[in-house]
Every structure is written in structure tokens, then in C-alpha cells.
Amino acid sequence: MRQKRFLTARWDNLIMMNYEVDPKVLQKHLPPFTELDLWEGKALVSVVGFLFADTKVWGIKWPFHVNFEEVNLRFYVRHFDGKEWKRGAVFISEIVPKRIIPVIANTIYNEHYIAMPMRHSIKVESDRLTKYVYGWKFKGEWAEIAVTVDCDYTEMLPNGPEQFIFEHYWGYNKLNDLQTLEYAVEHPSWQVAKVVDYKLTMDVSATYGEDFVPYLSKQPFSVFFAKGSEVVVRVAGKITGPAVRGV
């Protein structure tokens, strides 16, 4: 039986800058009863920028909390529930411009939201190229994640690198050393566009900690862009013990 809807929204214009990291860096963030989900043996983290639109929590549009930006840092895990492997994401940091969002999400889902001033821009540069920028102001300085994309959208290749990054349909958060929160994220497969230019400008140490400086200071392993769609986030449940492991 599916859980009730907690949040509905549109997630639009998603940037994913993906970086290979030492798996040891992620161990302290790993929720109980999950393990790292690797792409061709590589542990990846993603710096993600996108827009929330038409957002409803418990079916209600809260004033001034309907349309806004988000930038997050996430990595990829999987959990065996006794019947199947579920592929999901764990969020290390989530930046939004609205202060009530961290209060709700951090309390209910044990997320890692923080509120900062944010901005975004969409600039059509030619008949085919569009530039998308998400910015956040941290300690008086603006940081940005930006891409220029060829807006000829295509379907993702089955079992390809874009599908690995975009299609993790569960969220996992460490509640304590013995419990993990699990919630479903529902959306159709997204169309993607080719990224022709990209830039990440930020103080990695101040924002995400020294552990990520050696990795996020390098060129990304890959950069992807998706059109997005309507999404549903379900009410979270608890995982309190390991299931019988599958192969």
C-alpha cells in the first residue's frame, strides 16, 4: 500500500553536475540498511540546481512557498527490502530561499535544508541554445551553478549514465544509527538536453565541508540537464532493520 502524498510540485530545468569521490567520504552520511549505488564502480555525488513550481504540501499552496529555487548536494544508494533493490538518493545539503521549508522538511524528513537568498535566470542565447543559472548568497558572496544547453530534447538511453543519475525514485535519510527514513519520489522519465557549457562557482569548503574540496574543485565527471515534470513525494516510512539480502 502506497503512502499518502506529502508534496506535489513541478521540478523544472534540472542541472546535475556529477563528481567522482572516494567512497570513504560518504560513509558517515550513509543511512543504516543502505549501501552505495555505484556507476561503473564509481561513487558519484551531484550538485543539483532546479526550480520548484506549483508546490503544494498536504494539498495546500502555502503563501510565498509555491515557486522557488533549490540547490542541493546528493549521492546515490540502494536498499534491499526483502523483495527487490530500491535505488535512491541521500541529501547532504539542500539550499532554498524560504525559511519555513527547512523547518518542515528537517523536522518531518530529517533533511538538511538551510535557507539562503537565491536567484535564477533563463537566457535564450540563440535559436538552439539556452543558459540556465541558479545562484545562492552565502556569507555575502553569490555562488552559482550554470549550464548552456542545446534545447533539442531527447529520451534518456535505457541503462545509460543520465538514467542512473536522474532515475532514483526513493529518498533515504539517516534518523539515527538504527533507523532510516524512506520516502517515494514519483515522476515520469525525463527528457534530457545536451550540455554545451557549464560552470560551478562556489566556496566548496564553506558550503559542504573540507571533505568535498578535492573532488568538487576538479572538472565534473559528467554534466546533465533534464526538462523535468510534475512530481509526487510520499509520506516517509521507517526502516528499522535489515531485510534478507538478495543477489
Q: What is the CATH number of the domain that holds 165?
A: 2.40.400.10
Q: What is the mean pLDDT of residues 78-101?
A: 93
| Band of pLDDT at residue 247, cut at 50, 70 and 90 | very low
Distance CA 18, CA 47 (A): 6
Which of 74-78, 107-111, 135-139 comes out lowest in average pLDDT?
107-111
C-alpha cell at 105: 522538511
Top-confidence residue, 145 or 245: 145
Residue 45 lies in a domain: yes
Residue 36 lies in a domain: yes
Q: If we measure between CA atoms, which residue out of 226, 230, 110 comes closest to residue 171? A: 110
| Band of pLDDT at residue 173, cut at 50, 70 and 90 | very high
Residues in the chain: 247
Write the secondary structure of 180-243 as one string of H (helix), E (strand) and C (coil): EEEEEEECCCCEEEEEEEEEEECCHHHHHCHHHHHHHCCCCCEEEEEEEEEEEEECCEEECCCC
In this structure, are residues 77 and 88 in contact, taking their beta carbons and an 8 Å threshold? Answer: yes
Q: If we measure between CA atoms, which residue out of 193, 174, 188, 189 comes closest to residue 236? A: 174
Distance CA 117, CA 69 (A): 10
| Band of pLDDT at residue 246, cut at 50, 70 and 90 | very low
Residue 246 lies in a domain: no
In this structure, are residues 45 and 75 in contact, taking their beta carbons and an 8 Å threshold? Answer: yes
Q: What is the pTM of this model?
A: 0.93
Q: For residue 217, how many other CB atoms are within 10 A of its CB?
A: 11
Residue 215 lies in a domain: yes
In this structure, are residues 97 and 115 in contact, taking their beta carbons and an 8 Å threshold? Answer: yes
Name the phi and psi angles at 130, rounded to 5.
-135, 140
**In the beta sheet, which residues pair with residue 78?**
35, 87
Residue 27 lies in a domain: yes
**pLDDT tens string 18-70:** 999 999 999 999 999 999 999 999 999 999 999 999 999 888 787 778 999 99
Name the phi and psi angles at 148, rounded to 5.
-115, 130
**pLDDT tens string 176-223:** 999 999 999 999 999 999 999 999 999 999 999 999 999 999 999 999
Enumerate residues 6+ apart whose C-beta is below 8 A from 148.
125, 129, 130, 131, 132, 195, 196, 197, 198
Beta strand ranges found along 58-117 (DSSP E): 68-80, 85-96, 113-115
Domain that holds residue 170: 5-239
Residue 211 lies in a domain: yes
Residue 245 lies in a domain: no
Q: If we measure between CA atoms, which residue out of 76, 67, 69 comes closest to residue 29? A: 76
Q: For residue 130, how many other CB atoms are within 10 A of its CB?
A: 17
User: How much is the mean pLDDT over the chain?
Assistant: 93
| Band of pLDDT at residue 1, cut at 50, 70 and 90 | low
Q: How many domains does the chain have?
A: 1
Residue 53 lies in a domain: yes
